[in-house]
Structure 1
Amino acid sequence: MNREKISRIAHTDHPIAAPLDDDAVRELLDRGIPHGDARVLDLGCGGGEWLLRAMAAHPHLRAEGVDISEASLTHAHDAAVGLGVQDRLVLHQQDAADFTSPHLFDLVLCVGSTHAFGGLLPTLAAARKHLAPGGRVLVGDGFWEREPSPEAVEMLGDFDDLATTTDRVIAEGWTPVHGHVSTRQELDAYEWAWTGSLAAWALDHPDDPGSAQALEAATTHRSEWLRVYRETWGFVSLVLRSS
């Protein structure tokens, strides 16, 4: 079973691929979308959940999503058809770092996908190229709540603490106009959903050739989360405007 299928199964019960509950997602979109007929871009959109929710809430909003996964984009298209919003959604199968567009966007999202650009600050630099005057960026990334172990750094990356992360963003010419630090409940709910969905699928499909691999992935991820980074890793989502 490839990594893409594992991820798709794991997010069955938590389609937002980040530790955010529905209220937080709604608030972030409300703060990020400047007007009802905005043009929105999601760099690393996965199954398109952020865009689908934005279009459902704003009947004149137009959206574009970029992702390398054909399966994820197919899911996004099918879900858009189910919601009746497919005529307002354009999907691009390509590396988000290589995406170009003839027009600019009122909101650019990249939540949980900054690895596609090599980190938070390169992500913001890429987003700025797509941003219309007066537009906003919604970005979500990890940070260290306390000193991590070398194993945690190797596993997740070399993040900063929240204050330093915010300072670095501001130093790059951005002003935070809204932010959300994921709560322990959101962080735990995301990890339990991720590992639980994968384990449940494996138990429900014992004859599938990928069942053992899925169960092993769920077990490994759960152990890494609980033993290596649960007490040290946090997640922040920021709505930013160019200073």
Structure 2
Amino acid sequence: MDRQRISLLAHADHPIAAPLDDTSVHRLLARAVRRGDERVLDLGCGEAAWLLRTLGAHPDVTAEGVDISAPALERAQRLAEETGVADRLTLHRAQAGDFSAARPFDLVLSVGATHAFGGLLPTLRAAHRHLAPGGTVLVGDAYWRSEPSAAARELLGEYEDLPRTVAHVTAEGWTPVYAHLSTRHELDDYEWCWTGSLSRWALDHPADPDSGPALEAAARHRDEWLTAYRDSFGFLCLLLRRTAD
């Protein structure tokens, strides 16, 4: 089954493709959008949930989103038209790392999309290329809440604990001006939504050729989460300014 379709179906009930609830998203955006007329870029925007919320709250903000998933971008465009913000949103189907823009942005987001760049620090370097002087980056990535098992490392990769993660970021010339650590509830709710939405679609569409693979993908993901990484996986969102260039 196509991974882009899996992602779209799995996020049907949780359009923010990261373990954050609505209150946390609102708080982060309130800290990130200060003037209300910023140019905002989301690298790896998916269905542009972060951008749509920002545009809905700030009528003078303009935004651009970049993603490789045509279905996600189509949904984003449809939602932008339904909510009346399509005239202020530009979507690009491209590899996030290859995207270039004519002008810099006041706020650059990349939450839950660091895999597109090869990790957290390469993501920050990419964001920096698009950032206006004095601008802000909102980045979200995993970290280890506790010592991971070998199975967790094999599944998810080589993350660091929280102090080391932040130390790596500051060593690259960034200063955190705010942060959010996803709570146990946010982490669990995201996983139940991911596996549950995908399973519900499969059960509701038994004749679809992807129904069986979708159920298998949901069951595999649920088992990996519960048995391998639930106790050690954490998610961190950092609001960053440049310390020096």
> TM tier, shorter chain?
over 0.9
Kept in 2, the 8 Å contact 1:66–1:92? The answer is: yes
User: In 2, Cα distance between the equivalents of 1:68 and 1:199?
Assistant: 24
User: In 2, Cα distance between the equivalents of 1:94 and 1:165?
Assistant: 28
Deviations 1:45-74 (A, max 9, x none): 000000000000000100000001111111
Report the Cα offset of residue 133 of structure 1.
Answer: 1.0
**Where in structure 2 are the equivalents of 1:38-57 lying within 5 Å?**
38-57=38-57
Kept in 2, the 8 Å contact 1:117–1:123? The answer is: yes
2:105 aligned partner, one-letter code = F
User: In 2, Cα distance between the equivalents of 1:205 and 1:77?
Assistant: 25
**Where in structure 2 are the equivalents of 1:225-240 lying within 5 Å?**
225-240=225-240
1:178 aligned partner, one-letter code = Y
- 2:110 is aligned to 110
User: In 2, Cα distance between the equivalents of 1:207 and 1:138?
Assistant: 41
User: In 2, Cα distance between the equivalents of 1:224 and 1:169?
Assistant: 29
Write out the 4+ residue segments of structure 1 that deviate beyond 6 Å after TM superposition: none
Q: TM-score with structure 2 length normalisation? A: 0.98
Report the Cα offset of residue 34 of structure 1.
Answer: 2.9
- 2:188 is aligned to 188
Deviations 1:95-140 (A, max 9, x none): 0001111101010000000011100001001101111111100000
User: In 1, Cα distance between the equivalents of 2:43 and 2:220?
Assistant: 28
Deviations 1:211-239 (A, max 9, x none): 11111111000000000000001000010
User: In 1, Cα distance between the equivalents of 2:202 and 2:186?
Assistant: 24
- 1:131 is aligned to 131
- 1:140 is aligned to 140
- 2:68 is aligned to 68
1:139 aligned partner, one-letter code = V
The 3-state SS of whatever aligns with 2:19 is coil
Aligned residues: 243
The 3-state SS of whatever aligns with 1:237 is strand
Deviations 1:167-186 (A, max 9, x none): 11011110000000000000
Q: TM-score with structure 1 length normalisation? A: 0.99
Do structure 1's residue 91 and structure 2's residue 91 form an aligned pair?
Answer: yes
Deviates more, 1:148-157 or 1:217-226: 148-157
Kept in 2, the 8 Å contact 1:34–1:106? The answer is: no
The sequence identity of aligned pairs, in percent, is 61
- 1:216 is aligned to 216
- 1:206 is aligned to 206
Structure 1, unmatched stretches of 5+, are none
- 2:81 is aligned to 81
User: In 2, Cα distance between the equivalents of 1:131 and 1:181?
Assistant: 24
User: In 1, Cα distance between the equivalents of 2:101 and 2:2?
Assistant: 31
